[in-house]
């Protein structure tokens, strides 16, 4: 085994550290174009509804701590782990630089998003690979992990637990972040989402045609078409046609309690369901679940071994 450690950059979306950081954060998401006053006010309103900031920063820290502990237990001293965020400091490039400074000979990238899209995981990996090349070290990204049995088992249990609180005739709807149709041509993201939803539904004994489906959420307010149907339309439609008395949303594409879950589902979708007169709940999300993070640590160990031959 080599004496130099293997670096692990755990990549997450990032969130504003304080209400003052919302504008620069939004500008970064918009690739340097500042939001209009209306767009900014809308985003600020959503963070205000959560108490000013999202819990994403704390959840990401907890997830990375769990993963670090699991790696240390499996291979003491072999890995050095750090955070790298897409839209807030410390950025992906900062994370890779930290690992290079710590003497890492190779970097493994793990994005805290289970399904691959070129627009999501692909972009994280491109930035990490470029930063590693600049420092003269190798990079290997883990492209997807929605197929990890531990993750699917976690979702299955979460669905079963939540169904117990809802009416008999409840439809389970698996959701993920919508993306513009333009970026989905030839992209595996929709198929991967269908595959994981189906696996969880079958394992949970949900009836294919009546018991579950898939929808999209959190689409951006831009004029171009985004992949649908949107979860809010689905809630209204299910209520209007009387095909279900309840709806359970399983946000399979998200792995922490953050804005897109705590606002878009718990506040916005809940309100739409209340107005439409249909029972509503959403399943718990991964956060720092020890079993799944230990499975991800195994994946990091295997990826490092395959990449470095040690
Ligand atoms: O809790 C928080 O503070 C941050 C929550 C957050 C997560 C997240 C995950 C994903 N996004 C994805 C795609 C897009 C695309 C756009 C876009 C825009 C925003 C805005 C906010 C925001 N996203 Fe996000 N996203 C989170 C937050 N996202 C805030 C800007 C205002 C708004 O539209 O609501 C459109 C801009 C662009 O073209 O980039 C597209 C995807 C994920 C899940 C996978 C991943 O982590 O990449 C996909 C968490």
The pLDDT tens digits for 260-304 are 999 999 999 999 999 999 999 999 999 999 999 999 999 999 999
Tell me: do 275 and 177 sit in the same domain: yes
Summarize the confidence of residues 23-40 as an average pLDDT: 97
Contacts of 80 (CB under 8 A, 6+ apart): 5, 6, 7, 8, 99, 102, 103, 104
Answer yes or no: are the C-beta atoms of 297 and 67 closer than 8 Å.
Answer: yes
Contacts of 250 (CB under 8 A, 6+ apart): 155, 158, 159, 162, 172, 173, 174, 175, 197, 200, 282, 283
Tell me: do 132 and 157 sit in the same domain: no
pLDDT at 206: 87
Residue among 44, 218, 262 whose CB has most ligand 1 atoms within 8 A, to mutate: 218
Assigned domain for 130 exists: yes
Assigned domain for 192 exists: yes
Question: How many independent structural domains does the chain possess?
Answer: 2
pLDDT band per the 50, 70, 90 thresholds, residue 3? confident
Query: Whole-number mean pLDDT of the chain?
Result: 96
pLDDT at 183: 96
pLDDT band per the 50, 70, 90 thresholds, residue 2? low
Nearest residue (by CA) to ligand 1, atom 39, is 29
Tell me: do 174 and 251 sit in the same domain: yes
The alpha carbon of 82 and the centre of ligand 1 are apart by a number of angstroms equal to: 22
What range defines the domain where residue 241 resides?
Answer: 149-282
Tell me: do 296 and 230 sit in the same domain: no
The percent helix, strand, coil of the chain (3-state, each to 5) is 50, 15, 35
- C-alpha distance from residue 52 to each of 16, 44, 76, 184, 246 (Å): 10, 8, 39, 33, 31
Q: What are the structure tokens assigned to 224, written together?
A: 């171009």
Q: What is the CATH number of the domain that holds 50?
A: 3.40.50.1400
Residue among 177, 180, 192 whose CB has most ligand 1 atoms within 8 A, to mutate: 177
Summarize the confidence of residues 146-151 as an average pLDDT: 98
Tell me: do 111 and 94 sit in the same domain: yes
Q: List pLDDT tens digits, range 229-261.
A: 999 999 999 999 998 999 999 999 999 999 999
CB atoms within 10 A of CB 13: 23
Q: List pLDDT tens digits, range 195-229.
A: 999 999 998 888 755 699 999 999 998 899 999 99
For ligand 1, which residues put their CB under 6 angstroms from it?
13, 15, 26, 29, 43, 54, 56, 113, 120, 177, 179, 220, 253, 258-260
Nearest residue (by CA) to ligand 1, atom 12, is 177
Tell me: do 79 and 153 sit in the same domain: no
pLDDT at 310: 73
The alpha carbon of 26 and the centre of ligand 1 are apart by a number of angstroms equal to: 10
Over 90: is that where the pLDDT of 309 sits?
Answer: no
CA distance 38 to 152: 39
Residue among 35, 259, 265 whose CB has most ligand 1 atoms within 8 A, to mutate: 259
Summarize the confidence of residues 150-161 as an average pLDDT: 96
Summarize the confidence of residues 4-32 as an average pLDDT: 97
Q: List pLDDT tens digits, range 72-127.
A: 999 999 999 999 999 999 999 999 999 999 999 999 999 999 999 999 999 999 99
Q: Which atom of ligand 1 is nearest to the CA of 117?
A: 48
The number of residues making up the chain comes to: 310
What is the enclosing helix (H) or strand (E) of 236?
Answer: helix 231-241
% pLDDT > 90, the chain? 94
Q: Which atom of ligand 1 is nearest to the CA of 111?
A: 46
**What is the model's pTM?**
0.97
Tell me: do 154 and 204 sit in the same domain: yes
Instruction: Strand 170-177: give its sheet, edge to edge.
Output: 212-217, 170-177, 246-250, 279-282
Q: Which atom of ligand 1 is nearest to the CA of 56?
A: 1
Assigned domain for 1 exists: no
């Amino acid at each position: 085994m080599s004496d130099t450690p293997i670096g692990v950059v755990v990549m997450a979306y990032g969130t504003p550290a304080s209400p003052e950081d919302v504008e620069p954060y939004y500008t970064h998401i918009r690739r340097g174009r500042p939001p209009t006053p209306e767009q900014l006010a809308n985003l600020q309103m959503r963070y205000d509804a959560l108490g000013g900031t999202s819990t994403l920063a704390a959840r990401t820290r907890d997830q990375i701590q769990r993963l670090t502990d699991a790696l240390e237990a499996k291979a003491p001293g072999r890995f050095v782990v750090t955070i790298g965020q897409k839209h807030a400091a410390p950025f992906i490039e900062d994370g890779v630089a930290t690992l290079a400074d710590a003497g890492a000979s190779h970097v493994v990238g793990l994005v805290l998003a289970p399904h691959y899209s070129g627009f999501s995981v692909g972009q994280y990996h491109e930035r990490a690979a470029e930063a590693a090349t600049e420092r003269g070290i190798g990079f290997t990204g883990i492209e997807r992990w929605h197929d990890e049995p531990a993750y699917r088992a976690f979702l299955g249990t979460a669905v079963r637990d939540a169904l117990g609180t809802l009416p008999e005739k409840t439809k389970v709807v698996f959701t993920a972040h919508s993306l513009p149709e333009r970026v989905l041509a030839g992209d595996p993201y929709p198929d991967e989402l269908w595959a994981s939803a189906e696996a969880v539904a079958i394992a949970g004994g949900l009836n294919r045609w009546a018991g579950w489906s898939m929808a999209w959420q959190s689409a951006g307010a831009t004029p171009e078409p985004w992949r649908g149907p949107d979860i809010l339309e689905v809630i209204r439609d299910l209520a209007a046609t009387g095909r279900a008395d309840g709806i359970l949303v399983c946000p399979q594409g998200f792995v922490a309690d953050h804005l897109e879950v705590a606002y878009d589902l718990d506040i916005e979708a809940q309100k739409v369901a209340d107005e439409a007169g249909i029972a509503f709940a959403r399943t718990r999300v991964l956060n720092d679940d020890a079993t799944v993070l230990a499975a991800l640590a195994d994946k990091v160990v295997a990826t490092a071994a395959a990449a470095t031959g040690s």
